[in-house]
Structure formats: C-alpha cells, structure tokens
Amino acid sequence: MKATIAAALCMVATSALADESALRLKPGPGREIVEANCVMCHSLDYIEMNSPFLDRKGWEASVAKMIKVMGAPVSEADATAIVDYLSARYGR
C-alpha cells in the first residue's frame, strides 16, 4: 500500500518537475543529497514554502514522514544529511 501511494505521488509530482532548473537551493553541505532525493517525489519549492514554519525538529518530522508514511527510498545516512542541510539553510 505504501509503495502504491508513493508511486502515485511521484507520478502526480512529475508535472511539478517540468522546470526544476529555475529553482536553486542555498549552497551548503548536503544540497546535492537533498536535490537527488527530494525531487523524486516533489518540487524543490516545497522546501522554501515550508521553511518559515520548520525548525530542526520540524524538518526531522517532515523527512521521517516522507520515508515512513510516503515510502520515500532514502537511506538513513542521506536522511541525516537532508535534515542537517534543511535545518541549517531553511530552518527558522
């Protein structure tokens, strides 16, 4: 069931990826890991859109939800790097 939901979300999100080249995340360690993992299912503007609301704990919860609930295939090491990057560059 989780795999089906994740696949459906990725297919729906594909239209949002039409011009990802226009979106640039802030430079810093882990940016490439975020770009490689997060765009599988949603646009990078999701990060900027949520940044006013999320501190480190919020980003941890968001990344955990993407993995555990939505079925994102993200390794534990990448999840840690993603949270580190997002909380440092887009945390409140």
Is pLDDT at 60 greater than 60 in this prediction? Answer: yes
Q: Determine the pLDDT at residue 23.
A: 80
Fold classified for 2-90: Cytochrome Bc1 Complex; Chain D, domain 2 (1.10.760)
How do the domains of the chain map onto residue ranges? 2-90
pLDDT in tens, 64-75: 999 999 999 999
Q: Determine the pLDDT at residue 4.
A: 59
Is pLDDT at 19 greater than 90 in this prediction? Answer: no
Question: What contacts 37, CB < 8 A, 6 or more positions away?
Answer: 72, 74, 78, 82
Contact 2, 65 (CB under 8 A): no
